Amino acid sequence: MTTATRPGPDVLGDTRTTPTTLSTMLRRLAEHRPEDTAHVFLQHGERPDAPLTHRRYDRAARRVAAAVRRTGETAAVLLFPAGPDFPTAFLGCTYAAVAGAPVQVPTRPRGVERVRRIADDAGTSLVLTTAATRDEVLARFGALPELDGLHWLAVDELAEDLGADWEYTDPGLETTALLQYTSGSTGHPKGVAVSHRNFWHQAVELDRTWPIGPDGRIVSWLPSFHDMGLLFGVVLPLWSGAPVYQMAPEAFIRRPGRWLEALSTYRGTHAAAPNFAYELCRPLAGTPAADGLDLSAWRAAVCGAEPVRWATARGFQQDFARYGLAPEAISPGYGLAENTLKVSGSPSGRAPRVTWLSAEALRRGHAEPVTDQAPGAVPVVGCGPVAEDSEVRIVDPVGRVPLPEGSIGEIWVRGPSVAKGYHRKPALNREVFRARLAGTPEAGPFLRTGDLGFLLDGELHPTGRVKDLIVIGGGNHYPQDIEQTVEHTHPGLHTNAAAAFAVDHPAGEQLVVVVEADGRVLRNTTAVDLADAIRTAIGLEHQLTAAEVVPIRRGSLPRTTSGKVQRTACRQAYLDGTLHRLA
């Protein structure tokens, strides 16, 4: 069995220059490089399963396509654990011109409710899954009314010869391939409709920024129902022909070193993860657990999906330089599902950049560069130049007028990666995907990202979410900065384990901070003393008074499926009185 190298024009034809559907990409690979490895799943993050070749990939996708077409559905919920069944089911849907809607396998009743809401929003009753997953979900939650009327189709129970005589028809570039339901979706889910054309343009942009090359190998632990996991785990491998080595997210979380070991063992060149994942790996450096690591092949360590912290980016590179990690490997990026994924990225071959800003100017909404020694200087990591075929404007979110360089405003995007819109949400699409600048409506339409940031020296610097911005006493405060201060208050506090938000009060907005603490922290301090120390640190660092600091039980902070803290959900739990407070 050979390992795939990047296919040239003889394999994928003009795929690299002419937009091509995902389905046709796989068909060409199956025809010209049938025995090359497409996907390897690492059991428990360590033991490789038999490789999924392009031939097997295509055959499995055809079986799924034939089964899905018989149902007459135009969309399907994809409910899969990590492994090769997800990509074959997703490609089977694209073969059949059916939109796939990936969802996390539910472990609680709320997860079942989410599956049902997404199925209803997608307009389908069809759930593609495995027999084991179906049986487990029905055994645990079969009595719940949310599962009534769903049609379960286990892809591993399909007959081997199903689809053998199935005739392939290209689904068309404008056909919706994916309904990406964002991890923050709650009572009214929004499915981002991503077309084949969107995926092709995004794959081209990813390769321009972080070239795969003939030796490209991708290593991923990200869930496939997450936009970054899907792009790096399925789409980019199809476009480039590079193999992907995948482990379950739980395998990484339980022992982060497995990710680095896989990169070392399989000579991984590309891997992407949120900031917290790099921080989780840092304690391994210099320990016996890291002996023998060779990260010299890793040239694109993409960091995105949440604010990139300079201390993490710089610290990770310094920590793992002894294992061959190059300074230019760390690649901060910014993106969102509504743009398929990447908007900007720090390119390969260049170390990430940081701009130190005046904290006082930041509170006024301006990016004023200062030296790193200036009092109160705040580091903001640059996320690289904007994608070549895209345009970004920084806009006043209220007045809808463009702002000059160095001003902080909402990030607006236009370009070929901007998705078709939210599925069956025409009014919301007019507001979010069809935004126009005041006074110059001909300059649009733009996608309103809901994120704040600024442009400086041709580089995009995201600073936070519009809805998360804390405005107290006329000054703007970014929650991630406050949360980082909180996490440094006590050596036992964890990264990505705090939430800062504002609540209404008759006297004006007030700051509330929620922080997870475990036995390591509370062995030598009390919850009251911890809260006092945090309140003092926030006052000194940010000139703010926290109205309340709430220590809670470790692991109880609301998070998305990709591990990001959900500040809005945390705020609601605080207001509802449902936080697991420590006495």
- Mark whether 356 and 499 lie in a shared domain: no
Where residue 416 sits, what CATH number does that domain have?
A: 2.30.38.10
Strands 459-465 and 47-48 come out as unpaired
436-461 as b/e, with b when 16 or more CB fall inside 10 Å?
A: ebeeeeeeebbbbbebbbbbbeebbb
Question: Closest Cα partner for 321 from 377, 372, 354, 282?
Answer: 282
Domain boundary, last residue among 465, 493, 527? 465
- Mark whether 185 and 268 lie in a shared domain: yes
Q: Is 478 domain-assigned?
A: yes
pTM score: 0.86
Q: Is 52 domain-assigned?
A: yes
Q: Is 188 domain-assigned?
A: yes
Q: Which two tokens stand for residue 348?
A: 């390969």
Where residue 475 sits, what CATH number does that domain have?
A: 3.30.300.30
Q: Is 307 domain-assigned?
A: no
- Mark whether 77 and 90 lie in a shared domain: yes
Q: Is 309 domain-assigned?
A: no
Cβ contacts of residue 251 below 8 Å, gap of 6+? 42, 44, 45, 46, 221, 258
Q: Is 330 domain-assigned?
A: no
- Mark whether 80 and 47 lie in a shared domain: yes
- Mark whether 79 and 226 lie in a shared domain: yes
- Mark whether 416 and 534 lie in a shared domain: no
Q: Looking at residue 259, what is its pLDDT? A: 98
Do 378 and 357 form a contact (C-beta atoms < 8 A)? Answer: yes
- Mark whether 377 and 484 lie in a shared domain: no
- Looking at the structure of the chain, the number of domains it has is 3
Domain boundary, last residue among 450, 465, 480? 465
- Mark whether 108 and 29 lie in a shared domain: yes
Q: The domain containing residue 61 runs over which residues?
A: 2-273
Q: How far apart are CA 186 and CA 569, in angstroms?
A: 10
**In this structure, what DSSP letter does residue 323 have?**
G
Strands 270-273 and 244-246 come out as unpaired
Please give the helix or strand (H or E) that residue 68 lies within, else none. Answer: helix 54-71
Cβ contacts of residue 312 below 8 Å, gap of 6+? 275, 278, 279, 282, 303, 495
Cβ contacts of residue 190 below 8 Å, gap of 6+? 121, 181, 182, 422, 423, 425, 428
Domain boundary, last residue among 239, 273, 307? 273
Q: Which two tokens stand for residue 295?
A: 């990260």
Q: Is 319 domain-assigned?
A: no
Separation in Å, CA 165 to CA 48, 65, 168:
32, 12, 9
Where residue 172 sits, what CATH number does that domain have?
A: 3.40.50.12780
Q: Is 317 domain-assigned?
A: no
- Mark whether 455 and 519 lie in a shared domain: no
Q: Give the residue ranges of the chain where pLDDT is below 70.
A: 1-14, 183-187, 473-475, 505-508, 561-562, 583
Q: Which residue has the tokens 């891997």?
A: 271
- Mark whether 97 and 82 lie in a shared domain: yes
- Mark whether 374 and 264 lie in a shared domain: no
Do 526 and 490 form a contact (C-beta atoms < 8 A)? Answer: no
- Mark whether 455 and 483 lie in a shared domain: no
